[in-house]
Structure 1
Amino acid sequence: MANNLIIGLGGTGGKVVRELRKRIYEEFRSNEPGNGCNINYLYVDSSPADLNDRTGWKVLGKSVHLGDAQKVNINGISTAALQSLGQYPGLQSFINDDDKQLIDQHMGPLITAGIGGQRRRLGRMLIANNICDRNQAEKNFVTKLKAAVTALQKSSEDNDVTFTICAGLAGGTGSGSIVDVISQIRKEFPYQESTKAFKIRLFVYIPEINVVNQKHDNGFYQANGYAALSELNAISVGKYAPFDVTGEKDIFTQKVQRLLQNQESFEACYVYTNVNEQGKNLDLGTKLPKAVADFIFQIVVVGADKNGQMSRLVGCENDGAGPEHDLSGEQTRSRKFLSFGVVRVEYPETEIDEYVTYNYAIQATRQLTYNLWQEGIGYGECTLEEVGSGYLDEIKDPKNRGKLKLANADLTLEKPVIENDSTKNWRAFNITWETRTQGDAGLVQQQYEKKQWLAQFTKLIDEYYSNGFRKHGVKKFFEIQTKEIKAYASFIRRHIESKLFEEWASGGKEGKSMLQIEKYAMILRQDCEDRIGAFKQQISKLEQQREEKAADIKAANVKWNNIGWIRDAVTNAASKTFAEFKTAKCEYYVLETKIESYAYAIQLLQQIGIELNSMILGIQAMKQELDEILKQVVDQASAKCQLNASPEEGKMKKYKPEVVHDLTRQYVSDYDLQNANSTEIRQKMIESLGEDGVRSFAQLNASVDINTASDIIINICSKNARTAMEETAKKDPLYKMVGVNILEKLKNELNSEEKIEAFVDSVINLARSYVQFNPTETAAVIGDNQGAMVPMVQVAMPKPTNDQEEKFVKDLGVAFSNKQTGFIPSFTDGDFSENFKSNQMVVVCAKAGFPLRFLLNVQTLREKYNRLLAAPQGKLNKMVLHTESFPTPLPDLFELNSADLEHPAKKATLLALALNLVQQQQDPVTGEKFLAIKVPDEVFGDQWVKIGKDFLGCVNALKQDFKKLKSLEQQVEKELHIKARSNDQKMEVRKLLGGVVQQIILPTICEGNQFNPLYAEYKNLAMEIINEKLKDL
């Protein structure tokens, strides 16, 4: 199994990682591609906002964002560290005293912000600070690098890992950190030449010629690109060995060691920019990162299978061309650079699948939310105002109020809200008092003489009212029940919500939608509020009736007191009056009880209103979640299979979107299909509540957040949509939308030689490299450099499965061979490779083995770079552009012409005169005086070779002969190593250098006039030499 670690540096690298993750998920519905490919990621950035930003990381409703273990935050560096560099040898190694002074004077705000700020030096400082931070070792790049590699090796049981590093070279973070990312990988995982293990390939964005967004240019945008390319080139040819920013020291010198010495650095560097070979502009935001990710997908994921490898491209990576030499024979310009372009020719099965899936999801979400079926159309949408007709009458119906436990008897506790042992003997108020008064009346009539009936009965019935009613007495009972109001209200809310939930859960045309339930609940809440006013009016009526009954009691009392007991034996007045008193007392206490109960009911209704409001909020939260998902799937559906859509970058689609639209309309207007789909989704959501879970919308919303709900909807819709498409294909092959082979599709479409040739021309043009080449440089032959840039076309497609497809592939191979010289139309060691998906053909155009001078952009970047170095703050600019201040200039990316060589020729001549390597000599025959260079000769001793008549003659001669100039520079360096080792020696050489300016330059070039501008120029040149080579230790 092939192990791959994809590393994104900075914003540009992060975008490529994002698009690759999405590409993999689109193909495999998983972050793990399988296919023999084991893959892990690291994303390094100085912006916490970018590291944690999830925008754009979703595909098919699923987030493919990286986990914390896959992110390295290099934001921030303490000013304390910069003030005590001696304690941080890793940082100090690439920040000399001059650098430190410039940083202190000019970079304070950027240091405080802790970001790259488009300064490459600062980007390096940030990753170096991260790597050497011992206090948070678990968060540093090297720790996470090792952990990621170990995880890959363990899961695959394969030791080899290929590192793919993606970065933009225009900024500070990615461009500044790339040298240390390469060197630290090589430190931990040296390249194994024999097995090609631990290969590093780079994907770097080269800044555009014309900056697309001026806001992105802080003045260093393009110059950064040239500085970074210079360093990568120097690393590749062994001219730059970065310091080990961990601070580890060389065991012999006890100085911080340099890495990448005498070892392979990277095997291939793929370069790209925003304009391709055809001059077509590519969008920097998403289209270009997508195209790069598509190419990485092809070589990493598809190429993990040997049959899927693009053999010629792999060969160029593994056996890259040797570097170019300059005219002195030095290796100066690496040729490990490659360009690439890619086009995917496909029957867009994934997009079709997504389009149908998202339309299913639209229908399902509308059903759950609105349940508005429209024949021939599918589920529609409506507003809150459009639903709820008849709900108020339904709610006011006494039968329905009873079902909801909102009948007057429930609210007044005339009957129990919650039935238990303590409530089983509760009776209606009328029955309770009739039974009680009848019983007490019978008791006193049996046990007492007539004259005592009224008093004893009053005593008993009043006692029952005060202490006996439901074991507590009326007032005490309702006082106790007041403490249970919240529990009762909550119970009633749960009871109501359970019924409404079941109506939603039942689905079908008769079931209630989320919107209908919301409207029903709102009307119900309003009805409860209205009933509070009605109950208050009812209390007033009851109080009036109570006064009437009190009067009846009083009248009966008077009548009782006026009974003539002698005549009573004849008239039986006592029995009649007692009966009247009993009835009045019964009715009075019924009214008293009802007054208390309605007062209680008002409080209960108020609490129920609060509970209903909470229930409505839960319903609205769930509806809002569904509305958000609906918006997402509508947006996603509208972005897929568009009619008359503009061609996508890097894609050629072979299908008819109108057929997909027609078939999808059939699916969404099929009630049985869509009802079954929404039912399955609804049941899956409800399952999350558990068998014994509370059936409430708030609980559903809590257990199924928007991501979970979206996943449920998309997964089920995807399954059901695919089943529908497969069933359709069985019934009518003309409507086959899944399992389509691209060869079959192309064979039917390209049914003539002319059409095949036109197709091949088209795909090759679409797949042209994402760079432009400079024809002047590509045509230039410098010295004895051998080898040319290697152009290639690689084609990945499914292998033919029948004779007709075999013939078609053969015809394609002929067309590609006619178009591209050297194309080998074979799956075995040829330019055909097997694509893992039958619906895709991938065409890659690449060029390999060229030096960076071939790229059109690089000339512009060089001009911007030189302009910054020549500016008044040139010293500062040079410091921030490079990852360290180099004592010896890096190899130039271009062959230097005489104008370029004039400056180094003057410097070399000045120093050579000071060190007596160039002296005045005289021809003994003619008497001519001239300057000559001392050339070592092992046989005859040092020889003097004439250079020029005078100083300027020497400069002119050297700038025309690069080899002689390099030889002089090497002699100067060798002499300095002998004569300028100590501070005293350096002082002596400085004096000699000053003497050359005063005694040679001033009289011969400046006409003895110190105010001549040339005098200041040469003094500055001498100071430049002193600062570079003769400063005290």
Structure 2
Amino acid sequence: MNPNHMILGLGGTGGKIIRAVRKTIFQEFRNVSPKDVNVGYLYVDSSDELMRLDDPTWKILGQSVQLGPNSQLHIRCANLSSILENLTNYPGIRPWIGDRGIWNDILGGIVGDAIGGQKRRLGRFLFANHATEFCDRLTSQVRELQSGGETGVTFHVCTGLAGGTGSGTIVDTLCQIRRLFPDSLQYRIIGYLLLPEEHPKPNWNTGNYHANGYAALAELNALSVGKFVPCNLAGDGSKMTGLQTPFNGAYLFTTHNENGLALGVDDIPNVVADFLYQKIVTVRKVNWASLARQENAENGDGNPETIPGTNVGVRSKRWLAFGVKRIAVPEEEIAEYLAYQFALQAALQLRYNNWSETEGYLPNAKNVDLMSYVSAPEQLERWLLSDEHLILSAPVLEADGTQGRWQPIGRYWMTVTGAFKQEIEEREDGAKWLDSLKGRLELRFSDQYRGHGVKAFYQTVSASARERAREVRQKLERELFGNWRDGVRSVHEISALVGAVISYLRSRFERFDDDVAKAKPQEEALAKKLKEQEKEWVKVGVISDMLGKRKRLFDTCALTLQDLYACRTRIEGWQFAKKFTPVLLEEITQLKAELDRSSAMIAEAVKNFEEQIAERCGDDNSKVDYRQQIIRFYDPELVRSVTRRLTKDAREQLTQTQRVRSALVALLGDKLDFRTFNERINKTTFLDVLENQCMENAKISHNNLIESSKEKLIGVSIIDKLRDRYGDRQALRLFIDGIVKAAGNYLIYSPDEIKRSAPGINSGAQICVSSFTVILPKAPEAEDFVKMLREVFWECVQTTAREFLDGSRSNEIILTSVTNLFPLRVVQLLSFLRARYLERVNGPNPARARMELHIEEDGQALPSLFLPSRGELQERIAPYLLLGSVLGLIAGRENEQGTQELAILTKDEYGFETPVFLEGTTIPETLANVPETKALTLEEAVGKQLADPELRREPKRTDLTQKVVSLVNELARQLPPTDPRGKSFPEWGRRAVKLLRGEG
């Protein structure tokens, strides 16, 4: 099969099928464009309901698989009335558009932009306005597919036939594809056509629902056999006479399969999507040549049924039906469930770090007295937040403490005072000691403290308050980030701790005025004390000096001066702290904001992981649901149980969360802080890191801790799982029989039509040729069970054409059934659709009904989808039989049995009469018995005679008309009153007269 595939969706059904295909591919690969899967898409619709980029229905496993704008074609048009008024400017529309009066009625009922609205010709009208754009989009997509080196493309055209858009554009879509890509072997076109439901949802049938389906099938059938040649919408409107094989085959499907399985109409796109997935993806590694032959009608007689006695095809056999079912261990989903549980644990550790031996990491914070912790002296000292640091008694910046320049205020003044005192005592006269010490200390306070003097120092450092505040923040942040990196604290804990630091600093700031207020009286008391001591100093005489009083008093005064200048310095320090602390609070509040930002992002990730977990492995496997497209063969409770065991393993979670933290920290480079974390790791990056790392962590943990083969969740074989559950042959047979029935064709056939034999049907050719394919993974370790499994499949599959193919994936078995080579007449639903169609075209305003239903002309020239019934043949042939009689082409002749019989009077090449007997002695009897082959001969003979222009000239025409009237009246009188043909003959006569006049 071709490696390149183009999926086209027409109308709502087509869009839903594309959506389901992309979801299926994403589920299998976690990527909508996986490597080596070359698929292009083009969704065409008159409504943009499914085209919006934020449409939540395109989400799968938390991700959107919505198409890009280049893969969408919104065929909206608000100026249809203007186009109708200027048809000469629209050559692609003018030849087929139809009656302007009817269009005025149709468009008059439309408010706003027109949509298909179950009117096929309106759908075509909308498409025609975008036909060139459609061709451009299509060729662009094909070129992109071919850029890989392979030129062949298979076009998959998907739509429903009940609406106006899909049903109204299907014929033109097929024709435009074939016009652009005429090689039917290199560019295969396959249709996927959803037939109308017999009982649609309320309000779905707005008049043409069922009739649209029949009209579309009639046109597609005629297109296939060359009896319908549409106009070229993308060109000058001329007929596309050169098209060969407009489509290779077309699948028909309904909501019910042949074995009684009924699905909702919303489930059908998933079925089609899975079938397309097998044909596009699975086939890459499976030799499935038989399917390609079936889709091109190469596995039997693909020639259409013909007009009896001719080779003129009238009923195409390029129709197919399918069924598909998968039995699979959803390994990717199980692995993701486990990975997302690990990711949730990692995120909870990062956010809360609250471990429970019974639950793992909990989704809430621990209860901790953080205020007591942060206000402890040892913490404040380590974080440079003690009072000594706030008043710059202790150094904050690294340079502050170099070369021993800075000492705590009390120690500084003690050291300075002691040094001055010793020097004074050694060098100066005793009477001058106190004045000298006072002078030196005052000079040190005013001009020399830390190179500036106290006031000047604090004024100077006020200019660098921001740098010192940042140093405090960085010191605190380095420690806390290290705690987070090492798993000691969570970001929520750290944020709360920093919040407690902020509260402490605010509280401390509010007390600075109290500290100053307390220091002022101390300063005054010390100053007063010094004055008292000075009074004593001046009283010291020679005797008392000799007795050591001066020395003792000098010691006392020195202590007072030391305390006084220390107090004065602290007062300045408290004043500085009042200015410094708000700057410090600002920095730490910024740190808190970064932490809160990190915490909020991790909280969003926690929610995301919880949502991802909720979407996975939630099945109830108490019984098999055959309506599910994929029979998910696994034990959800086992998955949950094993996962709980792994997420509660303290050692394993400690290890795996450390790997996650290391992976995150590796993205930060040398800047290990929370601002860099927020700058470099957004939510998307965070999710990606945790998902990827935790997928690896989960698999490592699973492989290390799960030893029992029965408990293994990853790397399991569907064969092993089937063997574990269905070791008994009878139990296996019951299961497989249900699966096989569920994989039956989504189309129900009419047994009577399948068995029908009639002229024009090749009696030697099979119709409804069915095959059943089972794609099994290789399992040499379970050879005996596989043998039994194959035997059971063979027992359950009813068709004779059965095949096993080797699959490439150990976790799934694929079943497909395909039927082809049948005419539409064998579809059971078709009779119902025809009845609804006839109701529409024979009801009020038939001209409008036919124009709404058919994309060109009125559909009456299209070949019938059914073999003609006796009544239909009678209706068709009666006018010709009447004309043949009055024209002298039909007369009574003696047949081989020696009895009189009406016959067509034909002559051979020599002029000898060779009658064709019509199997009736009278016209009514002939109408009841004439075979279709002889009826065709009659039509041909009368048609040739009517071609003579003399018949339409007077008085010949009037003479023949009177003969028809006389014959009809005579025949009507001969029939019993109860014979319904008595009322039919006048109508047949009127039609005969119209044929005579050239009006038929």
- Give distance in 1, aligned partners of 2:222 and 2:544: 136
Between the aligned partners of 1:627 and 1:704, the Cα distance in structure 2 is 15
Question: What is the CA distance between 1:888 and its match in structure 2?
Answer: 5.4
- After TM superposition, the structure 1 = structure 2 runs for residues 325-340 of structure 1, keeping only pairs within 5 Å, are 325=306, 331-340=313-322
Whole-angstrom distance in 2 between the partners of 1:129 and 1:591: 87
Which segment drifts farther, 653-662 or 854-863? 653-662
Q: Which amino acid aligns with 2:145?
A: L
Deviation of 1:849 (Å): 2.0
Is 1:210 aligned with 2:194?
no
User: Where does residue 367 of structure 1 map in the other structure?
Assistant: 349
* 1:890 counterpart residue number: 862
Mapped partners of 1:467, 1:974: distance in 2: 131
Assess if the C-alpha contact under 8 Å between 1:789 and 1:848 holds in 2: yes
State the partner residue of 1:769.
Answer: 745
Residue pairs, 1:25-104, within 5 angstroms: 25-28=26-29, 30-31=31-32, 38-48=38-48, 50-51=50-51, 52-53=53-54, 55=56, 57=58, 64-75=65-76, 84-92=86-94, 94-96=96-98, 98=100, 101-102=103-104
Distance in 1 (alpha carbons) for counterparts of 2:385 and 2:884: 111
The offset of 1:771, in angstroms, is 2.4
Task: Classify 1:395/1:560 alpha carbon distance in 2 versus 1 (closer, same or farther; 3 Å).
Answer: closer
2:155 matched to 1:153? no
Note if 1:851 corresponds to 2:830. Answer: no
Whether the aligned pair in 1 keeps the contact of 2:516 and 2:575 (CA below 8 Å) is no
Aligned residues: 942
Residues 556-602 of structure 1: CA distance to partner in whole angstroms, max 9, x if unpaired? 79999999999999998999999799668735642542342232145
Residue 237 of structure 1 aligns with which residue? 225
Indicate yes or no: 2:271 matched with 1:291. Answer: yes
Deviation at 1:542, TM superposition (A): 0.9
CA 1:165–1:470 in 2, change beyond 3 Å: closer, same or farther?
farther
Instruction: Write out aligned runs for 1:230-629 (5 A).
Output: 230-247=218-235, 249=236, 256-259=237-240, 261-285=242-266, 287-305=267-285, 307-311=287-291, 314=294, 317-318=297-298, 321-325=302-306, 331-375=313-357, 377-384=358-365, 387-412=366-391, 418-419=397-398, 428=408, 468-469=452-453, 472=456, 474-475=458-459, 477-478=461-462, 480-481=463-464, 485=466, 495-507=475-487, 511-525=488-502, 527-528=503-504, 531-543=505-517, 545-546=519-520, 549=523, 586-587=565-566, 589-604=568-583, 606-608=585-587, 610-629=589-608
How far apart, in 1, do the equivalents of 2:296 and 2:100 lie? Answer: 42
For residues 918-939 of structure 1, the C-alpha deviation after alignment (integer angstroms, 9 at most, x for no partner) is: 98999999xxxxxx99999999
> Kindly tell me: are residues 81 and 735 of structure 1, through their superposed partners in 2, closer, same or farther at Cα, counting changes over 3 Å?
same
* Deviation for aligned residue 1:940: 8.8
Distance 1:708 1:755, change over 3 A: same
Q: Aligned partners of 1:470, 1:940: CA distance in 2, in Å? A: 143
CA–CA distance in structure 1, aligned partners of residues 49 and 418 of structure 2: 81
Indicate which of 162, 165, 168 corresponds to 1:170.
162
- DSSP 3-state at the match of 1:199: strand
* Correspondence for 2:810 among 813, 833, 838: 838
Whether the 8 Å CA contact 2:874–2:928 is kept in 1: the answer is no
User: Partner of 2:767 in structure 1?
Assistant: 788
Q: Match for residue 714 of structure 1?
A: 691
- Does the CA contact (< 8 Å) of 1:817 and 1:824 recur in 2? no
Q: 1:317 to 1:31 in 2, by over 3 A?
A: farther
CA contact (8 A) 1:160 1:198 kept: yes
Match of 1:252 in 2: none
Larger Rg: 2
Q: TM-score, normalised by structure 1?
A: 0.75
Residues 4 and 300 of structure 1 are in contact (CA less than 8 Å); yes or no, is this contact kept in structure 2?
A: yes
- SS in structure 2 opposite 1:681? helix
Cα distance in 1 between the residues matched to 2:87 and 2:685: 50
Contact in 2 for aligned 1:415/1:427 (Cα 8 Å): yes
What is the CA distance between 1:263 and its match in structure 2? Answer: 0.6
Could you say what secondary structure the match of 1:238 adopts? coil
Query: Shift of the alpha carbon at 1:617?
Result: 3.1
Looking at structure 2, the residues matched to 945 and 471 of structure 1 have their Cα atoms a distance apart, in angstroms, of 134
> 1:141 corresponds to which letter in structure 2?
F
Most deviating of 559-568 and 168-177: 559-568
State the TM-score, normalizing by the size of structure 2.
Answer: 0.77
Give, as a single letter, the amino acid of the residue that structure 2 aligns with 1:538. F
Which residue pairs with 2:174 in the alignment? 182
Query: What is residue 253 of structure 1 aligned with on the other side?
Result: none
Deviations 1:830-862 (A, max 9, x none): x22222223333222232222333334444444
SS in 2 for 1:258: coil
Aligned counterpart, 2:800:
823
Give CA-to-partner distance per residue, 1:124-153, whole Å, 9 cap, x none: 444443343xxxxxxx43333223322332
**Per-residue displacement from partner, 1:541-560 (whole Å, max 9, x unpaired)?**
41353266368659979999
Structure-2 separation of matches of 1:551 and 1:521: 40
Equivalent position amino acid for 1:618 in 2: R
Report the CA distance between 1:635 and its aligned residue.
0.3
The gaps in structure 1 that reach 5 residues or longer are: 133-139, 250-255, 826-830, 926-931, 980-984, 1006-1013
Q: Which SS does the other structure have where 2:129 is aligned?
A: helix
Q: Compute the RMSD of aligned alpha carbons.
A: 5.7
Q: Within 1, Cα distance between the matches of 2:641 and 2:326?
A: 26
Structure 1 position 276, deviation (Å): 1.8
What is the letter of the counterpart of residue 493 of structure 2? Answer: Q
Given that 1:364 and 1:677 are in contact with CA atoms closer than 8 Å, whether structure 2 keeps it comes out as yes
Return the letter of the residue paired with 2:154. Answer: T
Q: Which moved more, 1:720-729 or 1:301-310?
A: 720-729
What residue number does 2:673 align with?
695
Structure 1: distance between partners of 2:372 and 2:622: 49
Contact 2:618 2:636 in 1 (8 A): no
Change in Cα spacing, 1:575 to 1:922, as seen in structure 2 (3 Å) is closer
Q: Give the conservation status (yes or no) of the 8 Å contact 2:11–2:46.
A: yes
C-alpha displacement of 1:664: 3.7
Q: Who is 1:106 aligned against? A: 108
* Distance in 1 of aligned mates of 2:351 and 2:941: 81
Change (3 A) 1:148 1:497: farther
Does the CA-based 8 Å contact 2:98-2:851 persist in structure 1? no
User: Paired residue for 1:198, among 167, 170, 187?
Assistant: 187
Judge conservation of contact 1:650–1:767 (CA < 8 Å) in 2: no
> What letter is aligned with 2:56?
T
d(CA) in 2 for partners of 1:628 and 1:364? 13
Tell me the CA shift for residue 291 of structure 1.
2.3
SS, match of residue 639 in structure 1? coil
Change (3 A) 1:313 1:576: same
Three-state SS of the structure 1 residue aligned to 2:50 is helix
**1:1000–1:838 Cα change, 3 Å:** same
Shift of 1:201: 1.1
Residues 676 and 449 of structure 1: is their aligned pair in 2 closer, same or farther, counting only changes over 3 Å? closer
In 2, the alpha carbon distance for the partners of 1:974 and 1:301 equals 60
Offset, 1:264: 0.7
Match of 1:928 in 2: none
Q: What amino acid maps onto 2:270 in structure 1? A: K
Deviation, 1:116, is 4.3
